[in-house]
Amino acid sequence: MTNSTDTLTTLVSSTCAQAVAEAEGISAAHIPLGKVYLVGAGPGDPGLLTLKGKGLLECADVVVYDALVSPQILAMINPQAEQINVGKRRGRHSRLQDETTQLLIHKAHTHAIVVRLKGGDPFVFGRGGEEMADLVKAGVPVEVVPGVTSGIAAPAYAGIPLTHRSYSSSVTFVTGHEAAGKYRPKINWSSIAQGSETIVIYMGLHNLSHIVAELCGAGLSDQTPVALIRWGTRPEQEELVGTLGTIVAQVAAAQFEAPAIAVVGDVIKLKSVLERPH
Ligand SMILES: C[S@@+](CC[C@H](N)C(=O)[O-])C[C@H]1O[C@@H](n2cnc3c(N)ncnc32)[C@H](O)[C@@H]1O
């Protein structure tokens, strides 16, 4: 492990480290060892990655990435960088969360620019808050670079505006998959159904029949439109449109699988007018 008095310049000879230091308004000679950037990769279309995120990928010494990051974005990574896949998909945990955090802490002590690359936005159902808190606690410099979240981008690419003056003045983003043992109360589907005209559900496919039952039980009509968008913004994007009364059977019939965003609400009626040609 490198001595903690080492600087970015001694760790990496690249001009990237200098550029990052200058952009942050500090002399490279005074930067403490290593920094972790929590970068949002966006939903898949490489054109939706931010310029800041792209610049960091090109400079990175280490990139620790998740399962939902698209191959075109991985292709932008500095070819000299160490690349580590810590991807998790439902039922397939390649690395536990604690191990990932320990890995980031270790890499920040041995490398200058460590990018933690996450699908969508790191702070939207991405555990970015937890990872950042652990890094801060460990004394590791860390910065978040927001990304375009799938809950906005996937509906947009499917021709669904989440708000519209004639259809919806409110939108709620909610997870359909709550972490076990978390301290917050269970999701209050009833108050969401009554208080929000558009509902955007992440990770909802597995619990879809339960969610539909909760929303209908809270008073939403079974005629309420529902759209599912799978692999949104990617060339393989797929959509399924129905109502609260039909969507569960449609998912089973089409064998529609994750990752998908579900949108519930009248804004879906605009889809036929606004959708892009595929
Ligand atoms: C752990 S959450 C991460 C969300 C991510 N941080 C974001 O801001 O988009 C994973 C879920 O996001 C949704 N998701 C991510 N990328 C998607 C995409 N390209 N198309 C549709 N849904 C996507 C799915 O609901 C998936 O199960």
Question: Domain containing 69 — which CATH number?
Answer: 3.40.1010.10
Do 14 and 137 fall within a single domain? yes
Residue ending a domain, among 120, 148, 176, is: 148
Give pLDDT, residue 51. Answer: 98
Q: Which residues are catalytic?
A: 66, 88, 203
**Residue 197 belongs to a domain:** yes
Helix/strand/coil percentages in the chain, nearest 5: 35, 20, 45
Q: Three-class SS of residue 242?
A: strand
Q: Are residues 209 and 108 in the same domain?
A: no
The residue among 100, 127, 148 that closes a domain is 148
Residue 23 lies in a domain: yes
Q: Which residue has the tokens 């002590």?
A: 109
CB 105, CB 140: distance < 8 Å: yes
Shared-domain flag, residues 133 and 262? no
Question: 151 C-alpha vs ligand 1 centroid, how far in Å?
Answer: 7
Question: Which residues line ligand 1 at a C-beta cut-off of 6 Å?
Answer: 43-44, 68, 118-121, 124-126, 149-150, 154, 202-203, 229-234, 258-261
**Same structural domain for residues 211 and 238?**
yes
pLDDT in tens, the chain (278 residues): 333 333 333 334 344 665 666 666 655 445 457 999 999 999 999 999 999 999 999 999 999 999 889 999 999 999 999 999 998 655 555 467 789 999 999 999 999 999 999 999 999 999 999 999 999 999 999 999 999 999 999 999 999 999 999 999 999 999 998 765 555 568 999 999 999 999 999 999 999 999 999 999 999 999 999 999 999 999 999 999 999 999 999 999 999 999 999 999 999 999 888 876 65
User: Residue 85 falls within a domain, yes or no?
Assistant: yes
- Tell me which of 148, 165, 181 is where a domain ends: 148
Same domain, 46 and 161: no
Residue 214 lies in a domain: yes
Listing DSSP states for 195-238 in one string gives H-SEEEEES-STTHHHHHHHHHHTT--TT-EEEEEESTTSTT-E
Paired strand residues for 240 = 228
Co-location of 38 and 136 in the same domain: yes
- Per-residue DSSP letter, 221: -
Q: Is residue 172 domain-shared with residue 256, that is, in the same domain? A: yes
Residue to mutate (ligand 1; options 150, 160, 178, 201; most atoms within 8 A of CB): 150
Euclidean distance between CA atoms 119 and 74, whole angstroms: 11
pTM of the model: 0.88
Distance (angstroms) between ligand 1 centre and the Cα of 17 equals 31
Identify whether residues 131 and 12 lie together within a single domain: yes
* 20 and 120 together in one domain: yes
Within a domain: 2: no
The answer to whether residue 3 sits within a structural domain is no
Q: What is the CATH number of the domain that holds 216?
A: 3.30.950.10
Task: With respect to residue 107, please indicate whether it lies within any of the assigned structural domains.
Answer: yes
The whole-chain average pLDDT of the chain stands at: 88
Number of structural domains, the chain? 2
194 CA to middle of ligand 1, Å? Answer: 25
Asked if 116 and 27 sit in the same domain, the reply is: yes
Full residue range of the structural domain in which residue 21 is found: 8-148
Question: Are 140 and 156 found together in one domain?
Answer: no
* DSSP letters for 171-193: EEEEESSPPTT-SSPPP-HHHHH
State the CB neighbour count (10 A cutoff) for residue 60. 28
Whether 105 maps to a domain, the answer reads: yes
The answer on 171 and 129 residing in a single domain is: no
